[in-house]
Amino acid sequence: MTSPHTHAVTNMPPLLDVQGLNAWYGAAQVVFDAHLQVQRGEVVALVGRNGAGKSSTLKAIMGLMPRRTGRVVFEGHDLSQAEPYQAARRGLGYVPEDRRIFTDLTVLENLQLGVQPARCFADGSPTPQWTLAQVFALFPNLAEMQQRPASHMSGGEQQMLTVARTLMGNPLMVLLDEPSEGVAPVIVEQMGEMILALKAQGVSVLLSEQNTHFAQWVSDRSYALDRGVLTSV
């Protein structure tokens, strides 16, 4: 395993700035006054046991929770009241744990559905632009199964496809939910190398993770989550 070897851009406002975030499922509050920041080119992990509120925090940032309060600013844009599709248009990618792929479509067709226009950062500098060739270089397994129906892939391969489809949208940042959960060790290794490759390309990543060893390997720093309460580590 290699270690992160590039550095985040820290002499500018954070790419993602979350202040006082709260979220609920019905009457049950699951995220409590969360404060976090992610810099451009930085990998940050939310670490905690199952049920600690990691996935709920990512969903709240993305606008996927039934109810949320607080402030979410991404690339200088206030997304506190934004719908998920509006966050995605701003360049915030989201990879859910449950691998929402189109099982009736092939690998290639899934990837083509994710294509979005090229983007720039707020200062005008270009963002990484992902082509099919670049995605296949990052995920050689997918290159070998372009015409395979997604329903005929393993769980780990489907996880790769979900990440790859998100990259085809040229995101500035990716919210990555439990990338090492329930996949074979070889896939865990590949997912880790993928996260480090994204960082090297300048893509920021905020991931949720139970596996502390994996989180320490890929992240620049981390936050601990316990029963919906976030603390910096």
Return mean pLDDT, the chain. 92
Kindly give, in sequence order, each residue whose CB lies less than 8 Å from that of residue 24, ignoring residues fewer than 6 positions away. 30, 65, 66, 67, 68
Taking CA atoms, 73 is separated from 48, 92, 209, in Å, by 24, 11, 23
If one compares 170 and 6, the residue with the highest pLDDT of the two is 170
Structure tokens at 58: 């990512």
pLDDT confidence of residue 156: 86
Kindly give, in sequence order, each residue whose CB lies less than 8 Å from that of residue 99, ignoring residues fewer than 6 positions away. 155, 158, 159, 161, 162
CATH of the domain at 189: 3.40.50.300
What mean pLDDT comes out for the span 152-159?
90
Strands 229-232 and 221-226: antiparallel
Other beta carbons within 10 Å of 210: 15
- Domain presence at residue 189: yes
- 38-50 per-position pLDDT tens digit: 999 999 999 999 9
- 1-11 per-position pLDDT tens digit: 444 444 555 56
- Domain presence at residue 67: yes
pLDDT confidence of residue 1: 47
Number of domains in the chain: 1
Structure tokens at 23: 């979220």
Q: Where are the alpha helices (DSSP H) in the chain?
A: 54-62, 84-89, 107-113, 132-138, 140-143, 155-167, 185-200, 212-218
- Domain presence at residue 4: no
- Domain presence at residue 98: yes
Question: Of all residues in the chain, what percent carry a pLDDT higher than 90?
Answer: 77
Question: What is the model's pTM?
Answer: 0.91
Domain membership of residue 133 as a residue range: 16-232
* CB 79 within 8 Å of CB 86: yes
Taking CA atoms, 40 is separated from 10, 61, 71, 72, 169, in Å, by 7, 17, 19, 16, 17
pLDDT confidence of residue 9: 53
Taking CA atoms, 219 is separated from 29, 38, 41, 193, 216, in Å, by 28, 11, 11, 12, 6
- Domain presence at residue 91: yes
Sign of dihedral through CA atoms 138, 12, 176, 151? negative
Please tell me what DSSP assigns to residue 128.
P
- Domain presence at residue 2: no
pLDDT confidence of residue 120: 86
- 64-123 per-position pLDDT tens digit: 999 999 999 999 999 999 999 999 999 999 999 887 899 999 999 999 999 998 888 888
pLDDT confidence of residue 2: 44
- Domain presence at residue 1: no
pLDDT confidence of residue 109: 97
Sign of dihedral through CA atoms 197, 202, 207, 210? positive
- Domain presence at residue 47: yes
* CB 218 within 8 Å of CB 196: yes
